[in-house]
């Protein structure tokens, strides 16, 4: 913390000094050593799985993406299925563990690109799985927003040919 604000909070590592606003420091602590989450003894599958899609000699890109999206959504439904849900144990006290069922809000699907994220979102919604897309486009990053911006640019300078090419 001394790098950013000095011992008194008056010096600043950053080029913009705002001396009227004191730096607020929040105390932080290392996690307690005895808090653990364990895979339940009832589980037959491990927490990480490697999947190989079979059934075709050759997969075109769209078929592979669709198989991946379908697999992800079906796997999530299996994890939260009422008859045999995925469970884990959380430590409560020194020697006591409580069995917990996995909840949808505890599941994350990591993707490589925005297009993979949209595909995953599409398949999840088709199966009725609620989801949110982290870093989804905001209103100002949408295609419609860029189109409106281009229209305003044309109106601002009607004699500029490059502004018309964007439409």
Task: Count CB-CB contacts under 10 A for residue 63.
Answer: 13
pTM above 0.75, yes or no: no
Q: How far apart are CA 147 and CA 20, in angstroms?
A: 42
Mean pLDDT, the chain, as a whole number? 77
Q: Give Rg (Cα) of the chain.
A: 26
For residues 129 and 112, the answer to whether their CB atoms sit within 8 Å is no
Q: Where are the domains of the chain?
A: 33-136, 138-167
For residues 69 and 115, the answer to whether their CB atoms sit within 8 Å is no
- 119-153 residue pLDDT tens: 999 999 999 999 887 766 665 666 777 788 888 88
Task: Count CB-CB contacts under 10 A for residue 73.
Answer: 21
Give the Cα-Cα-Cα angle 86, 92, 97 (nearest 5 degrees). 45
Q: How far apart are CA 136 and CA 132, in angstroms?
A: 8
Q: At the topology level of CATH, where does 33-136 sit?
A: Rossmann fold (3.40.50)
Q: What pLDDT is attached to residue 111?
A: 83
Tokens for 10, please give them: 């008056």
Residues paired with residue 100 on neighbouring β-strands, in sequence order? 88
């Amino acid at each position: 913390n001394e790098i950013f604000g000095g011992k008194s909070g008056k010096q600043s590592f950053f080029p913009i000094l705002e001396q009227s606003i004191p730096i607020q420091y929040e105390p932080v602590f290392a996690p307690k050593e005895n808090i653990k989450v364990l895979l339940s003894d009832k589980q037959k599958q491990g927490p990480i799985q490697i999947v190989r899609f079979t059934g075709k000699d050759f997969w075109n890109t769209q078929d592979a993406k669709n198989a991946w999206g379908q697999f992800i959504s079906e796997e999530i439904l299996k994890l939260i299925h009422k008859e045999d849900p995925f469970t884990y144990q959380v430590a409560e006290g020194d020697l006591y563990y409580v069995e917990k069922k996995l909840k949808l809000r505890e599941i994350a699907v990591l993707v490589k690109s925005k297009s993979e994220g949209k595909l995953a979102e599409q398949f999840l919604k088709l199966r009725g799985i609620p989801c949110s897309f982290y870093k989804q486009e905001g209103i100002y990053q949408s295609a419609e927003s860029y189109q409106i911006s281009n229209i305003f640019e044309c109106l601002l300078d009607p004699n500029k040919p490059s502004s018309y090419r964007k439409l």
